[in-house]
Amino acid sequence: MSFANFSPEWFFGIDIALEFLFAIILLAVALFGLKIYKSTCQRYVKYFSLSFFLIGISYVIQSIFNYLMLSKLNEAICYVMKVQSITSFNLYGMYAHMLFMTIGLVFLVYMTFKIEDKRPLWLLMIISLLAILFSFNKLYTFYLISSVYLIFLVWHFLKNYLKNKTKNSLFIAIAFLFLFFGNVHFLFSMQHDLFYVIGHILELFAYLLILINLLTIKKNEKKERSS
Amino acid sequence: MRKKRDRLEIIHDILHVIRKKGSGIKPTHILYKSNLSHQMLTDYLSELIEKDFIIENTNKKEKKFYTLTDKGYNYLNEYKIIREFADSYGLG
């Protein structure tokens, strides 16, 4: 089983391109966050960058495995790696995606706490991963847990918007709202493939908003440097 | 009423006070100008020294004074961008 199993045929390839695009946007934000961390040395900025990096990697894995699912390379890799079947090989990809995404979301949620104590971080991570590992339907549990984290993040970013009232903070709050709704659609993608498509489209809107925010900041940075 | 300052803003204010003085500033002056309690200022100064934003020096009378490092100057120069990014994601 792979994520590509939930995609309608006409959407094959488009989903891979979108996931790759999401990964690039996330990694670009992570890189910029790292730059801000170098200037500020604030721990929670480091967690922020790390979370975006991990979520970005999870999309890279998802897009690669979806691509392999469609290409003949899959069989060759299975043969070289001595993996018993293509199905189990793709399962590894799905698990890797879930692992990186879950850890990334946990880091992002932990960042919002702004506390020194690392125990809640480990607690959230262990509970989330154990819940996914021991559940009957791992993918469903993964999307359920991600949805809980995302709604928590929506709440954080909405509160942040109400505090700052800037266009950028509004973009981020809306982006996470889209990510939450996208994730909810993925929950139902096992029932109907259209939900898989809607989930990707909602994610596309979300990541475009995140990209616009990054580009605005970069533009202002250039302006600041030249003045 | 003035909005409660976050960590990034407090660090900016402390570094700004030190830069303004240029040749070095005494902790009592920072305390007065940065509007912090004594304990909070001590914690922030220790953090800033540890993270290499400022240097603690002592003069001939064994009195402490502080100056900015390159990293400290860089923080002040980049502050607008840091602020914009932090406000977007609630990192302040």
Note whether residue A210 is domain-resident: yes
What is the pTM for the complete model shown?
0.90
Cross-chain residue pair B89–A172, CB shorter than 8 Å: yes
Cα(A181)–Cα(A188) distance, integer angstroms: 11
Cross-chain residue pair B87–A164, CB shorter than 8 Å: yes
User: Rounded to a whole number, what is the distance in Å from the CA of A165 to chain B's nearest CA?
Assistant: 9
Is the pLDDT assigned to residue B92 strictly greater than 80?
no
Question: Among A41, A157, A166, A153, which Cα is nearest to B8's?
Answer: A41
- Residue B68, beta-bridge partner list: B54
Confidence band for B10, pLDDT divided at 50, 70 and 90? very high
Nearest residue, CB atoms, B88 vs list A39, A45, A168: A168
Note whether residue B28 is domain-resident: yes
Which residue of B lies nearest to A44 if distances are taken between CA atoms? B91
Nearest residue, CB atoms, B88 vs list A45, A111, A213: A213
Q: What is the CATH number of the domain that holds A55?
A: 1.20.1070
Note whether residue B19 is domain-resident: yes
pLDDT for res A91: 83
Nearest residue, CB atoms, B81 vs list A45, A112, A220: A220
Q: How many CB atoms lie within 10 A of CB B52?
A: 12
Which residue of B lies nearest to A165 if distances are taken between CA atoms? B87
User: Rounded to a whole number, what is the distance in Å from the CA of A19 to chain B's nearest CA?
Assistant: 22
Distances (CA, A) of A222 to A212, A215, B82: 15, 11, 13
Note whether residue B62 is domain-resident: yes
pLDDT for res A83: 64
**What DSSP string runs through A106-166?**
HHHHHHHH--S--HHHHHHHHHHHHHHHTSSSHHHHHHHHHHHHHHHHHHHHHHHHHHH--
Q: What is the CATH number of the domain that holds B15?
A: 1.10.10.10
**What DSSP string runs through A6-47?**
GS-GGGTTHHHHHHHHHHHHHHHHHHHHHHHHHHH--HHHHH
Chain centroid to CA B87: 19
User: Rounded to a whole number, what is the distance in Å from the CA of B24 to chain A's nearest CA?
Assistant: 22
Cα(A145)–Cα(B24) distance, integer angstroms: 52
Note whether residue B80 is domain-resident: yes
Note whether residue A227 is domain-resident: no
Cross-chain residue pair B84–A42, CB shorter than 8 Å: no
Q: Cβ(B55)–Cβ(A135) under 8 Å? A: no
Cα(A178)–Cα(A201) distance, integer angstroms: 9
Q: How many CB atoms lie within 10 A of CB A28?
A: 17
Note whether residue A134 is domain-resident: yes
Contact status of B36 with chain A (Cβ, < 8 Å): no
Contact status of A221 with chain B (Cβ, < 8 Å): yes
Tokens of A73: 């390379």
Note whether residue A75 is domain-resident: yes
Give the count of alpha carbons within 13 A of A159, CB side only: 10
Note whether residue A129 is domain-resident: yes
- Domain ranges, residue A153: 3-220
pLDDT for res A78: 66
- Residue B67, beta-bridge partner list: B55
Which residue of B lies nearest to A46 if distances are taken between CA atoms? B91
Which residue of A lies nearest to B82 if distances are taken between CA atoms? A36
Q: Note the pLDDT tens digit of each residue in A132-159.
A: 999 999 999 999 999 999 999 999 999 9
Domain count, chain B: 1
Q: Cβ(B54)–Cβ(B18) under 8 Å? A: yes
pLDDT for res A34: 96
- Residue B66, beta-bridge partner list: B25, B56
Taking residues B56-73, report their average pLDDT: 88
Run of H or E including A63:
helix A43-70
Note whether residue A92 is domain-resident: yes
- Domain ranges, residue B48: 7-89
Cα(A102)–Cα(A209) distance, integer angstroms: 22
Domain count, chain A: 1
Under-70 pLDDT residues of chain A: 1-5, 72-75, 77-79, 81-86
Chain A residues whose beta carbon lies within 8 Å of the beta carbon of residue B88? 166, 168-169, 171-172, 213, 217
Helices A138-164, A86-113: axis angle to 10 degrees equals 30
Cross-chain residue pair B88–A221, CB shorter than 8 Å: no
Taking residues B55-67, report their average pLDDT: 86
Is the pLDDT assigned to residue B65 strictly greater than 60?
yes
Note whether residue B1 is domain-resident: no
pLDDT for res A8: 83
Q: Cβ(A52)–Cβ(A104) under 8 Å? A: yes
Contact status of B75 with chain A (Cβ, < 8 Å): yes
Cα(A214)–Cα(A29) distance, integer angstroms: 7
Mean pLDDT (chain A) is 90
> How much is the CA Rg of chain B, to the nearest whole Å?
13
**What DSSP string runs through A158-180?**
HHHHHHH--HHHHHHHHHHHHHH
pLDDT for res A114: 86
Contact status of A166 with chain B (Cβ, < 8 Å): yes
Cross-chain residue pair A111–B85, CB shorter than 8 Å: no
Mean pLDDT (chain B) is 89
